[in-house]
Amino acid sequence: MQAALLDRTFHALSDPTRRAMVQRLSRGPASVSELAKPLAISLPAVMQHLQVLEGSGLVRSEKTGRVRTCSVEPKMLTLAEHWIAERRAQWERKLDRLADYLDATASENDNAKEESK
Amino acid sequence: MQAALLDRTFHALSDPTRRAMVQRLSRGPASVSELAKPLAISLPAVMQHLQVLEGSGLVRSEKTGRVRTCSVEPKMLTLAEHWIAERRAQWERKLDRLADYLDATASENDNAKEESK
DNA sequence: CCAATACTTAAGTATATACTTAAGTATCAT
DNA sequence: ATGATACTTAAGTATATACTTAAGTATTGG
């Protein structure tokens, strides 16, 4: 039932600017203008991306004085990572079962190999 | 320089219908109508989602006779998974270094503990 | 052959995104 | 107090998404 959270998290990660922001923040906290500095877009645009990131839970921020400091929230990274890992694991188990089946079938049609061991 | 690929992959995963399709395909190949059956949308809509999934490389499909069979392409799952895992790992290394620094600082200011052992 | 099946294409609509510029509002330094 | 700093809000625009229905095109079973 965390579908909406995954929607927001994957959507947040689907934009190169936002991934750049996450990448920067994974090296440690930063202010909004530090985040904006390497980006070729206006500050309001950075704010909007930041809102998307915060809306997904990937990033948190707190304002002290006139500076807003942003940091990565690793829980959401883990949630997204796990969703993918589970699909991949399921696909790999499926592959393994297929391989087993093919092995079994092969040794039925070619039992010399099994009996010769 | 695989930014565009990551864009497309995360975007593909940001929609619950497409995630449902990937989830179904991670259990094994399926035809377009098998994919559509549990979904409450029209077949053309399913086709459009399929095109997004194929465009990202998450899914491949092949038509034989009048049936198109779709299957997961795990390479792209792995690519997306790795991008996230690397950011998380970087964040965790950063945390570790911070912990080390705090430990070192603590033992400087409170050397009784270290010397009493 | 011809009708059912399994997609496929086309066209239209409504909403959401990713920006922009202009005009704010608090803080901070002097 | 006042100018500079660091955001923040508002409003507008252009493009992209996620659907829909209607009308195709190949395949296949009888």
| Average pLDDT over all residues of chain B | 90
Q: Which of residues 15-44 of B touch A (CB under 8 A)?
A: 15-16, 19, 22-23, 25-28
Side chain identity at residue A111, one-letter code: N
Q: Taking residues A60-73, what's their average pLDDT?
A: 97
Q: Which tokens in the block code for residue A67?
A: 């500076």
**Model confidence at B108, in pLDDT bands (50, 70, 90)?**
low
The rounded distance, in Å, linking the Cα atoms of A23 and A71 is: 11
Q: Taking residues B43-53, what's their average pLDDT?
A: 98
**Model confidence at A90, in pLDDT bands (50, 70, 90)?**
very high
Q: What is the structure's pLDDT at A88?
A: 97
The rounded distance, in Å, linking the Cα atoms of B18 and A4 is: 13
pLDDT tens profile A1-43: 689 999 999 999 999 999 999 999 999 999 999 999 999 999 9
- CATH no. of B3-73: 1.10.10.10
- Residue pair A90/A44 in contact (Cβ under 8 Å)? The answer is no
**Model confidence at B106, in pLDDT bands (50, 70, 90)?**
low
**B87, B90, B98: best to mutate for the A interface, most A CBs within 10 A:** B87
Which among B27, B74, B94 has the least Cβ separation from residue A27? B94
What are the domain boundaries of chain B?
3-73, 76-115
Distance A70 CA to C11 C1' (A): 45
pLDDT tens profile B58-99: 999 999 999 999 999 999 999 999 999 999 999 999 877 777
CB contact under 8 A, B88 and A94: no
What is chain A's length?
Answer: 117
Residue with tokens 């996450």: A22
- Residue pair A10/B11 in contact (Cβ under 8 Å)? The answer is yes
Size of interface A-B (CB pairs under 8 A): 90
B28: closest CA of chain A, how far (Å): 7
